[in-house]
Amino acid sequence: LPIYSYFCSVFTVPLNLIFIKHKVVMDLLRSYFKSIGDTFWSSDIWLPPGHDWDSVKLSCPGFPEFYDLVLPIYYSFIIILVRAMLIARPLGRFCGLKDSGSQLPHMFQCAVHRFRAFMHMASGHIYNAANESETPDAIIRLIHHKTVLDKFAEVCWRAVFYQGIFFYGLFALWDKPWFWETTHCWYGYPYQPVDPEIRWYYLIELSFYWALMFSQFVDVVRKDFWVNFIHHITTILLLSFSWADNFVRIGTLVLVIHDAADFWMETAKMARYCKKNRLCNMLFVIFTAVWCVTRCGIYPFKILYSTLLEAPAIIVFFPAYYIFNSLLLILFVLQLFWTTLIIRIALNAVRSGETDDVRSDDEDEEEEKVKADENGSTASEDDFQEKVKLS
């Protein structure tokens, strides 16, 4: 027994010390992050003077909750999983689009098939192996080449979402006073309960933009990739902060205005991928008209006017008000950038008769190079297959 007690004391005392130290460290980290959270979400920053979170939530049972902002992140992965499989790809096949890419010579198709067996490898490893085997650049581009059906599927699911969420937004906002008179966005702030249909409208939109941001890295890479990335980040921040700060009323107006034009843009792209040029041109004209009315008309002269001029006359200034307006202005600058692109597309359409997207993906530019490499290749199939062996 004395020996047993001795060994127990030898082994348990250090373990107890480690446990105590670990607990102390975890308590310190917990208190540190709690202090950061309390400072970040201070009512002095996010609420008008004289209000705090406890009093607002007690007096306004329908006030938005912080933890609601976590749900859209989970929902976004569900959207990514089902976005193309259920609607987009079957519709594309119905319209006559195929999974296969360009018609390559037989030896090129064999090479592409062999390379796609290694798609689980990182891109860097593939390129290193290609350099060692002296594989032509045209084949390397084809490894990650997106088919027309892939591109159609990406724009199709966005079109379906924009159309559905736009009509749902109209349904949710039609009987709301701030939909018709923007000053009602500020009356009674911050004591403005959020109705269930508005809550779901907001969270679904936020889930969609999370999904857009995540999927942007695997979708077709376009020339305005970083502009789109900034737009998605700005929109997510705008929706998150406006939800936490209960700027939901003005936020719903921003959402419904943006969704009005996006549907027409995506359907025009769908028509272009299906080689329906006349339909594409007609949809582009509608899109341009709706864009100019909503993004260049209603947004600056109603939304920004309300936040910059109407709100100060009704509510007291506080730091979150400036954060919210800064994000709205960033969004407006991005819209001006895209307006210039739309004008360029319109001018190109007048000259050529086709509405080619000036933001088109880099793969479109490489397709001509691929075709040139295909036609110019004179190597025999046996020699080529010997080069593309990967071990």
* Cα atoms found within 13 Å of the Cα of residue 363, Cβ hemisphere only: 17
Domain co-membership, 346 together with 197: yes
- Evaluate whether residue 132 is within a structural domain: yes
**Which pLDDT score is estimated for 40?**
74
Secondary structure letter of residue 145 according to DSSP: P
- Evaluate whether residue 48 is within a structural domain: no
- Evaluate whether residue 45 is within a structural domain: no
Q: Collapsing DSSP states into helix, strand and coil, what is residue 361? A: strand
Domain co-membership, 206 together with 110: no
Domain co-membership, 282 together with 207: yes
**Which pLDDT score is estimated for 260?**
93
- Evaluate whether residue 53 is within a structural domain: no
- Evaluate whether residue 18 is within a structural domain: yes
Given a cut of 70, the residues of the chain with pLDDT beneath it are 1-27, 29, 32-34, 37, 84-146, 219-224, 353-391
Domain co-membership, 140 together with 154: no
Domain co-membership, 349 together with 312: yes
- Evaluate whether residue 47 is within a structural domain: no
Label residue 191 left, alpha or beta by phi (over 0 means left) and psi (-120 to 50 means alpha): beta
**Which pLDDT score is estimated for 147?**
73
- Evaluate whether residue 97 is within a structural domain: no
Total domains present in the chain: 3
Domain co-membership, 156 together with 268: yes
Domain co-membership, 14 together with 154: no
Domain co-membership, 239 together with 108: no
Domain co-membership, 75 together with 186: yes
- Evaluate whether residue 187 is within a structural domain: yes
Domain co-membership, 302 together with 379: no
Domain extent at residue 254: 58-92+146-360
Helix, strand, coil % (nearest 5) of the chain? 75, 0, 25
Domain co-membership, 285 together with 346: yes
Domain co-membership, 293 together with 319: yes
Secondary structure letter of residue 312 according to DSSP: G
Distance between CA atoms of residues 193 and 241, nearest Å: 16
CA quadruple 80, 81, 83, 85: dihedral sign: positive
Distance between CA atoms of residues 168 and 180, nearest Å: 17
